[in-house]
């Protein structure tokens, strides 16, 4: 129950009807085009829309003369991120096909991100998973296979409605929380249904994180104002917190991250980040409401790099904020806009093993990537 948008892109699937010489020529063109598609089994190459040597695209933060800590590294938008070695040949065949059949007004619609929410990296399989609440599915940017997949089905013929969180599960599974379906869906590597977590126990699941060492799955149950902890089989083990404003209490928690043996929780309407041990004991908290860059008004995504820096998406003011492990504010990247380093209602943030920082720029319909260069001084 999935769709693939990999190589070959734009291959004609429309049924062609016609007569006389024009119909025969159209059939020949279709045959040639399809033959070209079938031959291209090697797949495409994942590109991030950054051209080598273009200094204009090498945007840094902070700006010179300060020492740069982050560099713009591109973006994910959808099907256009995959380029094939024989794109030009196929473009020529597609053009001839359009000329003969007259399809100038009905070109294939490119598959693009619409309202990305959050993501996860599968380093072993070379995949980037991105949930999209508008497209109601999970985009799989498969670098090794050179293709884009779209997983639309949660269970059988039941589609996703509001997929928010995504995390890697046990035995290669992919976990997806659907806020409207009220459960976490377990999928295999082909996007097929394996099982559920929290069905009939979760009110509105959003953020997801997993402790691979202990096999614990953490789910932010936003409407219940708590964090529910399950094992990999889906058994509820404990509940962390309840509604309130005190230490360890929550007011509409949303996004989660697990790093260095600790659980990071975006306590959205309390305007803060709370950090817990894997056992559920509160370790520390930081953040406060305010009018300045570094304050938290509507925090959402949270992530941690391998130097302990904590990244928080401040969605209301369209910023990515960087804190040190103690919660001291270090740097802000953002502002409202569409150019590199600007956002429009961003949501999730996640990090790969190379310290590339991925931000779901929701209303710009893209995932923006920054390369951490090291040494924030935190």
Query: pLDDT tens across 285-296, in order?
Result: 999 999 999 999
In which band, very low, low, confident or very high, does the pLDDT at 268 lie, cut at 50, 70 and 90? very high
Closest CA to 162 of 141, 140, 184, 194: 184
Q: Walk me through the domains of the chain, giving residue ranges and CATH numbers.
A: 2-44+84-101 (no CATH), 116-372 (2.120.10.30)
Beta bridge partners of 83: 45
What pLDDT, on the 0 to 100 scale, is given for residue 105? 54
Task: Read off the pLDDT of each residue in 107-115 and give the average, rounded to a whole number.
Answer: 84
Q: How confident is the model at residue 90 (pLDDT cuts 50, 70, 90)?
A: low
Does the pLDDT value for residue 328 go beyond 90? yes
Structure tokens that stand for 336 in this block: 């409202």
Per the structure block, which two tokens stand in for 146? Answer: 């050179």
The model's confidence at residue 113, banded by pLDDT at 50, 70 and 90, is very high
Which tokens go with 257?
């991250």
> What SS3 string covers 48-85?
CCCCCCCHHHCCEECCCCCCCCEEEEEEECEHHHEECC
Give the pLDDT confidence score for residue 92 in this predicted structure: 53
Average pLDDT over residues 370-374: 95
Q: Does position 351 have pLDDT exceeding 50, yes or no?
A: yes
pLDDT tens figures, 194-204: 999 999 999 99
The interaxial angle of helices 87-101 and 20-39, nearest 10 deg, is 160
pLDDT averaged over every residue in the chain: 86
Dist. CA 262–CA 243, nearest whole Å: 21
State how far the Cα of 371 lies from the Cα of 362, in Å rounded to an integer. 20
Q: Which residue has the tokens 């003011």?
A: 317
* Residue 225 confidence class, pLDDT cut points 50, 70, 90: very high
Residue 217 confidence (pLDDT) above 90: yes
Q: Residue 375: its pLDDT value, please?
A: 77
Read off the pLDDT band of 35 (50, 70, 90). Answer: very low
- In this predicted structure, which of 71-85, 131-145, 264-278 has the lowest mean pLDDT? 71-85
CB 284 within 8 A of CB 275: yes
Q: What is the DSSP letter of 264?
A: E
Whether 139 shows a pLDDT value over 50: the answer reads yes
pLDDT at 341 over 70: yes
CB 347 within 8 A of CB 118: yes
Looking at residue 199, its pLDDT comes to 97
pLDDT over 70 (residue 9): no
Least confident of 22-36, 126-140, 292-306, 340-354: 22-36
Using DSSP, state whether 364 is helix, strand or coil: helix
Indicate if the pLDDT at residue 19 is higher than 60. no
- Dihedral of CA atoms 314, 317, 318, 319 in degrees, nearest 10, equals -50
Q: What is the percentage of the chain residues whose pLDDT exceeds 70? A: 79
Q: Identify which of 304, 285, 370 has the alpha carbon closest to the alpha carbon of residue 61.
A: 370
Of the candidates 310, 283, 287, which has an alpha carbon nearest to the alpha carbon of residue 299? 287
pLDDT confidence bin for 88, thresholds 50/70/90 = very low
Confidence (pLDDT) at 87: 53
pTM of the model: 0.85
């Amino acid at each position: 129950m999935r769709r693939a948008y990999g190589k070959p892109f734009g291959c004609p699937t429309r049924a062609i009807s016609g007569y006389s010489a024009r119909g025969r020529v159209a059939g020949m063109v279709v045959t040639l085009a399809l033959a070209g598609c079938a031959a291209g089994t090697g797949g495409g190459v994942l590109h991030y829309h950054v051209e080598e040597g273009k200094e204009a695209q090498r945007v840094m933060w902070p700006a010179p003369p300060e020492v740069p800590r982050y560099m713009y590294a591109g973006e994910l938008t959808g099907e256009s991120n995959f380029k094939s070695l024989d794109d030009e040949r196929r473009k020529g065949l597609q053009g001839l096909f359009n000329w003969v059949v007259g399809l100038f007004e009905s070109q294939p619609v490119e598959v693009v991100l619409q309202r990305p929410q959050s993501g996860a990296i599968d380093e072993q399989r070379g995949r980037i998973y991105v949930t999209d609440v508008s497209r109601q599915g999970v985009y799989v940017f498969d670098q090794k296979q050179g293709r884009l997949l779209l997983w639309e089905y949660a269970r059988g013929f039941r589609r996703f409605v509001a997929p928010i969180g995504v995390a890697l599960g046990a035995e290669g599974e992919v976990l997806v929380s659907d806020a409207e379906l009220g459960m976490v869906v377990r999928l295999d590597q082909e996007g097929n249904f394996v099982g559920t977590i929290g069905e009939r126990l979760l009110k509105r699941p959003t953020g997801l994180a997993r402790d691979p060492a202990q096999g614990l799955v953490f789910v932010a149950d936003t409407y219940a104002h708590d964090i529910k902890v399950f094992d990999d089989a889906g058994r509820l083990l404990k509940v962390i917190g309840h509604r309130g404003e005190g230490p360890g209490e929550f007011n509409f928690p949303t996004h989660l991250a697990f790093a260095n043996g600790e659980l990071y929780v975006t306590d959205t309407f309390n305007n803060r980040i709370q950090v817990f041990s894997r056992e559920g004991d509160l370790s520390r908290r930081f953040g406060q409401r305010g009018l300045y860059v570094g304050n938290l008004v509507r925090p959402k995504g949270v992530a941690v790099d391998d130097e302990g820096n904590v990244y928080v998406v401040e969605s209301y003011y369209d910023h990515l904020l960087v804190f040190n492990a103690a919660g001291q504010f270090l740097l802000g990247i953002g502002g409202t806009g569409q150019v590199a380093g600007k956002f429009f209602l961003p949501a999730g943030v996640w990090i790969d093993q190379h310290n590339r920082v991925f931000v779901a720029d929701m209303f710009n319909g893209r995932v923006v990537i920054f390369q951490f260069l090291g040494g924030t001084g935190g």
